[in-house]
Amino acid sequence: MRPSSWQSRIERAAELESEYPAAAEVLRFYQEIAKFQSESEPLSQKSGFLESRMPALIALVGRIGPPALVEAANRPGVESHEPAVAFFTRVLLQVQKGYAAAHSHISMGITRNTCPFCNERPVAAVLRPEGEGGKRGLVCSLCFTEWEFRRLLCPNCGEEDHRKLPVYTASEFPYIRIETCDSCRRYIKSVDLTINGRAIPEVDELAAIPLDLWAVEKDYTKLTPNIFGL
Ligand SMILES: [Zn+2]
Ligand SMILES: [Zn+2]
């Protein structure tokens, strides 16, 4: 499955912004970041890419980011400060690795819980239409490669007893499930494309912040935070 383009992610985020006001602020910021990522893509395979795009990214975030990032972006010598630097670097690495992954042949091989291209962990799960039910995949948090993964298997600890893998849904997001594991107390959001074929997992995941708040209240920890650390 080829990853979505930056343009389709931007368009999807704009749709979700009007549908889910609770996530509007995050989605508006995401659209600006994704536009920057889209514009950066043609340069992404050149040497010195990160260094060359970093000042423009920091300037952009300094104008439109959330308060903590604005403060970091406007501080002299921000390059050496965490965690803002981790965010800036990841924005650019998503472009670089995402482009490389989309233009590589990736051997999917055996079931694995990290990305077969870049070895990062999944930011969301996805269910795609297949036969009677759905085929489960995981989506990389860095390069957005999607790979197949067994339905009843915890992507963190490998638990496969269905009684320890409860799934929760909320009426507000009929196509997004919270897949939890009671053995390791991790969870991942799963975007069900059999119910909503317009969804883009890594974008729709951002809109469903209320589900994260619910999961954290129930003492689950997200398997991998998204680009915004949520
Ligand atoms: Zn990856
Ligand atoms: Zn587990």
Distance (Å, whole) CA 194 – CA 157: 27
Nearest to 138 by CA among 88, 91, 186, 170: 186
The C-alpha angle with vertex 92 and arms to 79 and 206, in degrees rounded to 5, equals 110
Of the chain, the percentage scoring pLDDT greater than 70 comes to: 98
Neighbour tally for 124: CB within 10 Å: 29
Q: Which two tokens stand for residue 74?
A: 């406007």
Distance (Å, whole) CA 219 – CA 70: 31
Mean pLDDT of 27-36: 98
Ligand number nearest CA of 159 is: 2
Mean pLDDT of 212-228: 95
Neighbour tally for 108: CB within 10 Å: 13
Q: Which two tokens stand for residue 52?
A: 């060359």
DSSP string, 70-112: HHHHHSTTGGG-TTHHHHHHHHHHHHHHHHHHHTS-----S--
Q: Which residue's structure tokens are 């508006």?
A: 28
Please give the distance, rounded to the nearest whole angstrom, from the Cα atom of residue 164 to the centre of ligand 2: 8
- Give the model's pLDDT for residue 147: 95
Ligand number nearest CA of 153 is: 2
Ligand number nearest CA of 102 is: 1
Q: Which two tokens stand for residue 137?
A: 């995949």
Lowest mean pLDDT among 92-96, 99-103, 109-113: 109-113
- For the cut 70, the answer to whether the pLDDT of residue 152 exceeds it is yes
Please give the distance, rounded to the nearest whole angstrom, from the Cα atom of residue 160 to the centre of ligand 2: 9
- Give the model's pLDDT for residue 72: 84
Please give the distance, rounded to the nearest whole angstrom, from the Cα atom of residue 141 to the centre of ligand 1: 7
More confident residue, 219 or 79: 219
- Residue 211's SS3 state is helix
Ligand number nearest CA of 187 is: 2
Q: Which two tokens stand for residue 7?
A: 């343009």
- For the cut 70, the answer to whether the pLDDT of residue 145 exceeds it is yes
Q: Are 166 and 190 in contact (CB under 8 A)?
A: no
- For the cut 70, the answer to whether the pLDDT of residue 122 exceeds it is yes
- Give the model's pLDDT for residue 80: 61
Average pLDDT over the chain, rounded to whole?
A: 93
**Which contiguous run of DSSP H or E holds residue 8?**
helix 6-19
- For the cut 60, the answer to whether the pLDDT of residue 171 exceeds it is yes
- For the cut 60, the answer to whether the pLDDT of residue 55 exceeds it is yes
- For the cut 90, the answer to whether the pLDDT of residue 14 exceeds it is yes
Please give the distance, rounded to the nearest whole angstrom, from the Cα atom of residue 2 to the centre of ligand 2: 28
Distance (Å, whole) CA 168 – CA 170: 7
- Give the model's pLDDT for residue 81: 57
- Give the model's pLDDT for residue 79: 59
**Which contiguous run of DSSP H or E holds residue 130?**
strand 122-130
Q: Which two tokens stand for residue 169?
A: 């849904």
Convert the pLDDT of each residue in 61-95 to its tens digit. 999 998 888 888 888 776 565 678 889 999 999 99
- Give the model's pLDDT for residue 97: 97
Q: Are 95 and 37 in contact (CB under 8 A)?
A: yes
**Which contiguous run of DSSP H or E holds residue 68?**
helix 67-74
Ligand number nearest CA of 114 is: 1
Alpha-carbon Rg for the chain, nearest whole angstrom, is: 18
